[in-house]
Amino acid sequence: MGKYQALQSKLVELSIIPESELEEETLLNTLTKAFELNQGLMPLLISDLSEDIWAAGWLIECEYELWARVLQFREFGHCSPWGLASSKILEDKIAILDTAAEISKSWGIWGEEGAERIEMKKWENIFLMDAPWGLRDITQPICGELGEMVQSEHGWPKIQKCELFAKHKEEHKYH
């Protein structure tokens, strides 16, 4: 299933668009129109994923956790585990969020009035300024969860080995 079809299936599941078989270009236009008409769609997708993984409509700061995994997915084709979902299920859901963010050029945040849509450029600045430090380094959560951690002489955890593909392993600077 292609990335647009996966997003289409999710929007059909959420009763946002009707089920139909469309050519890729027509499907992209349909998805783009859905995001233009429904400004709450991106926050809805984030909330739905939070509910699926944590049984929480909007887990505190999940917008940061999910965005970090979108960045990991874009860079490595994988993302670190999170919540109650298997890695494969999470990656499928992150791929849908990535496609939605790409099409809508937006993200969802928890604001004063609850879940709201925010333009991508503004979100990227907020993420860089406000995200917890561990989420800003997209390689660390992946390696820290998929690799083997050992204690260093100063008590800080460090990566002993990495289970990711060779190109990524070459980028490591083991201390």
Q: Cβ neighbours of residue 118 under 8 Å, at least 6 residues apart?
A: 106, 107, 108, 109, 126
How far is Cα 134 from Cα 136, in angstroms, rounded to an integer? Answer: 6
The DSSP bridge partners found for residue 148 are 161
pLDDT at 139: 58
For residue range 142-159, what is the model confidence (pLDDT) as tens digits?
Answer: 444 444 444 444 444 444
Question: 61-65, 106-110, 169-173 — which is least confidently predicted?
Answer: 169-173
User: pTM for this structure?
Assistant: 0.78
For residue range 38-84, what is the model confidence (pLDDT) as tens digits?
Answer: 999 999 999 999 998 888 999 999 999 999 999 988 987 877 777 77
Q: What is the maximum alpha-carbon separation in the chain? A: 59
Share of the chain above pLDDT 90, in %: 55
Q: 92: helix, coil or strand?
A: helix
Instruction: Judge contact between 27 and 116, C-beta under 8 A.
Output: no
For residue range 80-104, what is the model confidence (pLDDT) as tens digits?
Answer: 777 777 777 888 999 999 999 999 9
pLDDT at 63: 95
